């Protein structure tokens, strides 16, 4: 099932916010990643200690089919303007579907990260559509064991 989830971006207090959301909705965080865990080989700049400790990605399942996701902004991406700190994250069922979604949403818009294979194992891209809506398109390939 293709799923759409909210993705919130914070100015350094993402972890605090998600601890509040966890206290309200319950559940466990299946993943908490910090900027300092990113491989430098991916062209990522050296980070300050403060940026290294910020949340790169966190997720909190809410109900059977919804996931609240978030991250902190860092000094390389600049401060977040509230009201523009949310993206719609869509999880595609295939690479082809992810490309179709991304190509359609980014047409006449702005691509901030082209679709690419990421170090965390997903096929992922980000864009802002021509109406100013921020999108994150993701496909998690199922690894055969």
Distance of CA 102 to the CA centre of its chain: 14
**Strands laid side by side in the 55-62 sheet:** 31-34, 55-62, 66-72, 3-10, 86-91, 134-140, 122-128, 110-117
pLDDT of 58: 97
pLDDT of 3: 81
pLDDT, one tens digit per residue, over 40-97 is 765 556 778 888 899 999 999 987 888 999 999 988 788 888 777 889 998 899 999 9
> Looking up tokens 């290294």, which residue turns up?
52
pLDDT of 137: 95
């Amino acid at each position: 099932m293709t799923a759409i989830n909210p993705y919130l971006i914070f100015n350094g207090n993402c972890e605090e916010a998600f601890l509040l959301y966890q206290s309200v909705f319950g559940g466990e965080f299946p993943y908490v990643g910090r900027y300092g865990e990113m491989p430098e080989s991916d062209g990522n700049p050296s980070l300050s200690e403060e940026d290294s400790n910020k949340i790169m990605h966190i997720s909190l399942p809410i109900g059977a089919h919804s996931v609240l996701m978030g991250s902190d902004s860092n000094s390389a991406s600049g401060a977040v303007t509230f009201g523009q700190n949310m993206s719609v994250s869509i999880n595609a069922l295939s690479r082809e579907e992810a490309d179709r979604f991304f190509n359609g949403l980014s047409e006449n818009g702005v691509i901030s990260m082209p679709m690419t294979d990421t170090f965390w194992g997903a096929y992922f891209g980000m864009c802002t559509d021509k109406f100013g809506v921020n999108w994150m398109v993701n496909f998690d390939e199922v690894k055969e064991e």
